């Protein structure tokens, strides 16, 4: 059976959560990082692409309606 969410987030909460996530990602990208022996310079900040976000959301909804909660066809 397909798992069902216990509650659906409101649009306001989702927008707030997306902005919080984006802020945290950009905060991490702002500083130099070391992975093993390799050093990476700070990266530029990301911005939210609403057209891409809308397309991804619609794709997720289509997958749910089709009962396909995976990426294997």
pLDDT tens digits, 4-51: 555 555 666 768 888 899 999 999 999 999 999 999 999 999 998 889
Task: Report the C-alpha gap between 36 and 63 in whole angstroms.
Answer: 38
* Residue-level pLDDT at 12: 66
- Output the pLDDT for position 48: 87
Smallest CA-to-CA distance from 53 within 22, 25, 7 is with 22
Residue 62: HSE in the Cβ half-sphere, 13 Å Cα cutoff: 7
| Cβ-contact 46, 26 below 8 angstroms | yes
Query: What residues does 34 pair with on adjacent strands?
Result: 39
Partners of residue 33 on adjacent β-strands:
40
């Amino acid at each position: 059976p397909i798992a069902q969410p216990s509650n659906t987030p409101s649009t306001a909460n989702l927008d707030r959560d997306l902005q919080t996530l984006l802020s945290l990602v950009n905060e991490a990208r702002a500083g130099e990082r070391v992975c093993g022996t390799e050093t990476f310079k700070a990266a530029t900040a990301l911005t939210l692409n609403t057209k891409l976000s809308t397309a991804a959301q619609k794709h997720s909804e289509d997958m749910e309606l089709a009962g396909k909660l995976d990426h294997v066809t």
